Amino acid sequence: MLHYTLSRLGLAVLIVSVAMLILFSMIYLIPGDPAAVALGPRATAAMREALRIKMGLDQPVWVQFWNFFINAWQGDLGNEVLSDRPVSRVVLEQLPYTLALIAGGMVWSVALGIPLGCWAAVKRGSLADRLVGVLSVAVIAVPSFVVAIYALLIFAVSLRWLPAIGAGEPDDLGDQLVHLILPSIAVGLGWVGYIARMVRASMLEVLEAQHIRTARAFGLPDNQITYQYALTIAILPTITLLGVGIGQMLSSAVFAEIVFARPGVGKLVYDAILTRNYPLVTGAVLVTTVLFVLINLVADLIVGALDPRVRSSF
Amino acid sequence: MTVLSIQNLNVTFSTEGGDLHALKDVSFEVPERRIVGIVGESGCGKSTLINAILGLLADNGRVSGGEMMFQGRDLSRLSPREMTALRGPQIATVFQDPMGALNPVISVGRQMTNIQYRSGLSKAEKAERAVAMLRRVRIPDPEAALARFPHQFSGGMKQRIAIAMALMMEPALLIADEPTTALDATLEVATIELLQELQAQIGCSVLFISHHLGVIAELCEDVVVMYAGEVVERGTTRQVFNSSRHPYTERLLDCDPARQSSRTRHLPTIPGEIPDLRARPPGCIFAPRCHRRAPVCDTPPPEETVQSGHVARCHMVTP
């Protein structure tokens, strides 16, 4: 397991480095002079030149990249344009809100999707199975911002059961959790469908396997066969899917944060783009990338912990 | 005493193309402490027979007639719960494919202790029994083997672990479904000898399914020859192999590479194919491929007793 963990960790570092290179190239290739953009049209040539030197734009491109690379790995993503505060601090202030939103969406969609998928697979061909199938496709097909708007209208505006906007009082955990319910429903609903379908498909495959027949031939209880012998294997592709799917969830978090006026990285990027605050956009994208890679790393480690074949192939 | 007595067993599968009569009037007995072999080519219903005995027929399959008496109880009339209780402690099974027969993500020790859940033993006692059984099937370092996973063992070792799991239950009946087919020749002999030795020690009956005539002749005391879901001939191994009466058995024995008297590039085969089981012919099922076919073969053949215990389902049997 140690060897496996280290190799996954090494791969994660490599992916983040490549992501940095791509991000840097994109900033570099954007037309226009960043110093001129930052200072506005009324700045003098001397002022622009001074800022260019301060920002390191007079250096050769590879030196610029190296500085960006080293600084980014040390957590220094430069300062944002409007308030001149460190980008990393601004992003990290917002990160917990987004993490809570994604975690909320993930937890409830997993908690609902996995049992539904198992149930549909075990009752294959039954009315329950068909119902789960139709509902899964339905919730996958609805975009998350539509879910967000309807959830807001129904539960906050009409029924007044749940708060409509914000993230709750900073010191009140219960209030924050209540504020988390609607946004995490919006972010996670489609995932219930994805997970149920995925789990159903791989469960059906695993239940046909020879070793399940062996388990039945030894008279093991059905529940143990389904949830220990079959699900442990059937869950593996779903975990990998969830790791990759975090990217999509991050993008639906942007909508949820805007619709529910929640703080968060998505809202931050949205505002930064509107105000052309490029260092902030870059920093937030980089942090999101690292988050994505980390979650995939965790997914890989869970798969490794569950599947001895994966562990020993490293 | 017979452990398992199957009388006129019929199994039908509902398919889109109509009902498939997979087993027709199958009858044979497994006496106590005896090894009974079932032989037949692929598709003859061997696997369906096992699934019917275990109560593990696919959803579209059902026992459509006959009875399977196991220790005085008809298996086809037991509830799923009662069948689950029988599987393992009373009827244990070793399957064909050792590569896929064990769960890949659960350690061997955990799989071996899990199946003892009805024993009432403590965790340590269950592990102790598992170790003792692994030692009996000659798994090196059995204590360490408990913590390992199936993919860390070779095919032959996995099959021995599967045998250990089945015999650890000390069943009254062991069903061995082609347990050596996936193994190479030397391992095959070793596995057969191991099975024979453990059977004698534990004193269970064995229903041994194989298409390998040599293995059947070596291991089994009685033989049941199946063709297209019917028992065409049964008797002691000596009776069936030395004085076979059914044309199918004769042709099957002729096809055995080990029986070829001279060197040949062309092994004999039985011309034709197994008929469509959705539309069984009214007469003898083997008639279309039979070299001794006569007009009478278009009527259902009776079960003719050749000798005490030796039965063939054929019009051409002359006592």
Residues of A in contact with B88 (CB under 8 A): 217-220
- Residue B105 to residue A216, Cβ atoms within 8 A: no
Structural domains counted in chain A: 2
pLDDT for A144-187, tens place per residue? 788 888 888 888 788 878 777 777 777 777 788 888 888 888 88
Both tokens assigned to A279: 């260092």
CB contact, 8 Å: A216 with chain B?
Answer: yes
Looking at every residue in chain A, the average pLDDT score rounds to 86
A40 pLDDT more than 80:
no
Our CA-based measurement puts residue B149 at a distance from the nearest CA of chain A, in whole angstroms, of 7
> Angle, nearest 10°, between helix axes A87-122 and A173-207?
40
The answer to whether residue A83 is domain-embedded is no
Query: What integer pLDDT is reported at residue B47 of this predicted model?
Result: 87
- Residue A219 to residue B84, Cβ atoms within 8 A: yes
Chain B 184-203, residues with CB within 8 Å of chain A CB atoms: none
User: What is the enclosing helix (H) or strand (E) of B176?
Assistant: strand B173-177
My answer on whether A24 and A111 are in the same domain is no
Pairwise CA distance, residues A145 & A258, whole Å: 9
| Count of beta carbons in the 10 Å neighbourhood of residue A261 | 11
Give the burial class of A145: count Cβ atoms within 10 A of its Cβ; 0-12 exposed, 13-18 middle, 19 or more buried.
Answer: middle
Model confidence band, residue B259 (pLDDT cutoffs 50, 70, 90):
confident
Q: Average pLDDT for residues B78-97, to the nearest whole number?
A: 91
Domain carrying residue A12: 2-73
The answer to whether residue A239 is domain-embedded is yes
My answer on whether A148 and A30 are in the same domain is no
The answer to whether residue A225 is domain-embedded is yes
Our CA-based measurement puts residue A122 at a distance from the nearest CA of chain B, in whole angstroms, of 12
Our CA-based measurement puts residue B315 at a distance from the nearest CA of chain A, in whole angstroms, of 39
My answer on whether A208 and A267 are in the same domain is yes
Question: In three state form, how does the secondary structure of B231-261 look?
Answer: EEEEEEHHHHHHCCCCHHHHHHHHCCHHHCC
Domain end (from A73, A100, A120) = A73
Closest CA to B49 of B33, B32, B30, B71: B30
A314 pLDDT more than 70:
no
Residues of A in contact with B106 (CB under 8 A): 228-229, 232
Is residue A291 within 8 Å of residue A94, measured between CB atoms? no
Residues of A in contact with B171 (CB under 8 A): none
ipTM for the predicted complex: 0.86
- Residue A221 to residue B84, Cβ atoms within 8 A: yes
End-to-end CA distance of chain A: 9
Model confidence band, residue B318 (pLDDT cutoffs 50, 70, 90):
low
Q: Identify the CATH number of the domain in which residue A149 sits.
A: 1.10.3720.10
The answer to whether residue A129 is domain-embedded is yes
Query: What integer pLDDT is reported at residue A24 of this predicted model?
Result: 85
Looking at every residue in chain B, the average pLDDT score rounds to 89
CB contact, 8 Å: B60 with chain A?
Answer: no
Q: Which residue of B has its CA nearest to A122?
A: B59
Pairwise CA distance, residues B109 & B129, whole Å: 10
CB contact, 8 Å: A126 with chain B?
Answer: no
What percentage of chain A exceeds 70 in pLDDT? 99
My answer on whether A44 and A165 are in the same domain is no
A261 pLDDT more than 90:
no
Residues of B in contact with A221 (CB under 8 A): 84, 117
- Residue B102 to residue A306, Cβ atoms within 8 A: no
Query: Which of B85, B92, B151 has the CB atom closest to A309's CB atom?
Result: B151
Q: Which of A34-38, A185-189, A213-217, B125-129 has the lowest mean pLDDT?
A: A34-38
The answer to whether residue A79 is domain-embedded is no
Query: Which of B56, B104, B106 has the CB atom closest to A217's CB atom?
Result: B56
Query: What integer pLDDT is reported at residue B9 of this predicted model?
Result: 94
My answer on whether A98 and A13 are in the same domain is no
Is residue A259 within 8 Å of residue A146, measured between CB atoms? no
pLDDT for B10-46, tens place per residue? 999 998 888 899 999 999 999 999 999 999 888 888 8
My answer on whether A69 and A107 are in the same domain is no
Q: Which residues of B54-93 are buried (b: 16+ CB within 10 A; e: fewer)?
A: bbebeeebbbbebbbbbeeeebbebeeeebbebbbbbbbb
Domain end (from A14, A46, A73) = A73
Domain end (from A73, A100, A121) = A73
Q: Average pLDDT for residues B282-302, to the nearest whole number?
A: 87
B107 pLDDT more than 90:
yes
Pairwise CA distance, residues A177 & B117, whole Å: 42
Q: Which of A45-59, A237-251, B94-108 has the lowest mean pLDDT?
A: A45-59
Both tokens assigned to B2: 């017979």
CA angle A177, A248, A274 (to 5 degrees): 85
CB contact, 8 Å: A210 with chain B?
Answer: yes
Q: Which residue of B has its CA nearest to A124?
A: B59
Residues of A in contact with B152 (CB under 8 A): 308, 312
B290 pLDDT more than 70:
yes
Our CA-based measurement puts residue B171 at a distance from the nearest CA of chain A, in whole angstroms, of 11
- Residue A306 to residue B117, Cβ atoms within 8 A: no
Query: What integer pLDDT is reported at residue A165 of this predicted model?
Result: 77
| Count of beta carbons in the 10 Å neighbourhood of residue A58 | 12
- Residue B104 to residue A312, Cβ atoms within 8 A: no
Q: Which of A240-244, B35-39, B114-118, B264-268 has the lowest mean pLDDT?
A: B264-268
pLDDT for A66-120, tens place per residue? 888 888 888 887 777 777 788 888 888 888 889 888 999 999 999 999 999 999 9
B319 pLDDT more than 60:
no
- Residue A219 to residue B165, Cβ atoms within 8 A: no
Query: Which of A211, A222, A312 has the CB atom closest to B102's CB atom?
Result: A211
My answer on whether A42 and A114 are in the same domain is no
What percentage of chain B exceeds 70 in pLDDT? 99
Q: Which of A24-28, A93-97, B102-106 has the lowest mean pLDDT?
A: A24-28
My answer on whether A40 and A165 are in the same domain is no
Is residue A311 within 8 Å of residue A4, measured between CB atoms? yes
Our CA-based measurement puts residue A7 at a distance from the nearest CA of chain B, in whole angstroms, of 21
The answer to whether residue A296 is domain-embedded is yes
Our CA-based measurement puts residue A164 at a distance from the nearest CA of chain B, in whole angstroms, of 45
Q: Which of A37-46, A120-129, B38-47 has the lowest mean pLDDT?
A: A37-46
Closest CA to A117 of A136, A104, A103, A102: A136
My answer on whether A65 and A106 are in the same domain is no
Query: What integer pLDDT is reported at residue B25 of this predicted model?
Result: 92
The answer to whether residue A81 is domain-embedded is no
My answer on whether A134 and A278 are in the same domain is yes
CB contact, 8 Å: B126 with chain A?
Answer: no
Model confidence band, residue B142 (pLDDT cutoffs 50, 70, 90):
very high
Pairwise CA distance, residues B176 & A239, whole Å: 37
Q: Which of A124, A204, A211 to mutate to test the interface with B (most CBs of B within 10 A)?
A: A211
My answer on whether A66 and A163 are in the same domain is no
My answer on whether A95 and A69 are in the same domain is no
Residues of A in contact with B95 (CB under 8 A): 210, 213-214, 217
Q: Which of A32-36, A105-109, A250-254 has the lowest mean pLDDT?
A: A32-36
The answer to whether residue A251 is domain-embedded is yes
